[in-house]
Structures are given as C-alpha cells and as structure tokens.
Amino acid sequence: MSEEKTQNQAAAGSNGKAPRREMAIQKIYLKDASFEAPSTPEIFRGKWQPNINVDLDSRATPVDETVYEVILRLTITAKQDDKTAFLVEITQAGLFSIKGAEKSELGPILGSYCPATLFPFARQVVNEMVTQGGFPQLLLSPVNFDALYAEQVRRRQQEQSDEAGDRPASEQ
C-alpha cells in the first residue's frame, strides 16, 4: 500500500497534487477579412439558389513559451449557375495561453479546441458581411473540429508511412 501511495505521489508531483493545467483566452481578433461580389447587380435579378462551398483550415504558431496564436481561415464561395455571387475570406485569430499541458496534449488543444473556440466569431463575421453585401443571411453549420483534427493526424501518419515505404531499404 505504501509503495502504491509513493508512486502516485511521484506521478502527481512533490506536493501530492496533479500537475495543474491552465488554458486562457488572451485575445480573439479578426486578422483579415475580404468580401467580393463580382456578379452584382445582375445576380440579384434571378431566383436565389446558390451552390455554396466552404473551405476552412487552421494553424497554430507559438508566440512564447506558453502563448500560441491560433488562426482559423474560412473561404466561402457562393455560385449561381456559372457566376460567382460572392466570395468571403476570413482570418479569425486568437491568442491562447496554455500552461501545464503535456506535449502530446498540445496538438488536440491547438488543432481542435482553439479553432472550435474561434469558429462562432468567424461565423458571425461571415454572416454580417454576406447580409451587408445584399445577400440573404448565411448561417454556417457547426463544424466537428475533433473529427477534422483526427483526419488531419491520420493523413499525416499515412503520408509519413508512404514516404518511409518509398525510401530504399538502405535509408530506412
């Protein structure tokens, strides 16, 4: 019993408490925004049945030891027939302070949690720009950032596996 208690205390730290993980949002800000409506005013004359394409991606950059800038980029293109009705490009960013997290925990935090935190702000900016451009309200659907991050990790592992398979046996 005393051996088990000693191992648990060693794992938790010298004071017997688990390492404290802290995450704080320091700032959320719009880094860049662009709206284009190249087919106006003609596009307003027909029935509004656009094909809307949403592309998004995120990245994180360390600012210092515990602060990261996370950027969420969204590009929304609405096409009516063969004409582009509008194009919106948003770069929503945030500064996140992360303390006490293991290196293995940083990927999911920076690749999923932080972009999910930024998404509602970007969605609001997109909707406001589209409606100010004279188009009907555009409410983007929620995004499963956990699934997107998991897919990104899977693709990266697959690429590394493919690259290792392409190397001659002498290099492996």
Its domain, for residue 45, covers 20-150
Whether the predicted model's global pTM rises above the 0.85 cut = no
Residue 137: inside a domain, yes or no? yes
Highest mean pLDDT among 1-15, 63-77, 150-164: 63-77
Residue 64: inside a domain, yes or no? yes
Separation CA 145–CA 160 (nearest Å):
22
The per-residue pLDDT for range 25-51, each reduced to its tens digit, is 999 999 999 999 999 999 999 899 999
Separation CA 66–CA 75 (nearest Å):
29
Domain count, the chain: 1
- 3-state class (DSSP) for residue 156: helix
3-29 average pLDDT score: 65
pLDDT at 19 over 80: no
pLDDT at 140 over 80: yes
Residue 100: inside a domain, yes or no? yes
Residue 93: inside a domain, yes or no? yes
pLDDT at 9 over 50: no
Residue 79: inside a domain, yes or no? yes
Residue 40: inside a domain, yes or no? yes
Q: Name the token pair of 68.
A: 């990261």
Cβ-based neighbours of 124, under 8 Å, separated by 6 or more: none
CATH number for the domain harbouring residue 70:
3.10.420.10
Residue 172: inside a domain, yes or no? no
Residue 167: per-residue pLDDT? 56
- 3-state class (DSSP) for residue 41: coil
At 75, is the pLDDT very low, low, confident or very high (cuts 50, 70, 90)?
Answer: very high
Separation CA 170–CA 172 (nearest Å):
6
Separation CA 149–CA 157 (nearest Å):
12
Residue 61: inside a domain, yes or no? yes
Residue 6: per-residue pLDDT? 38
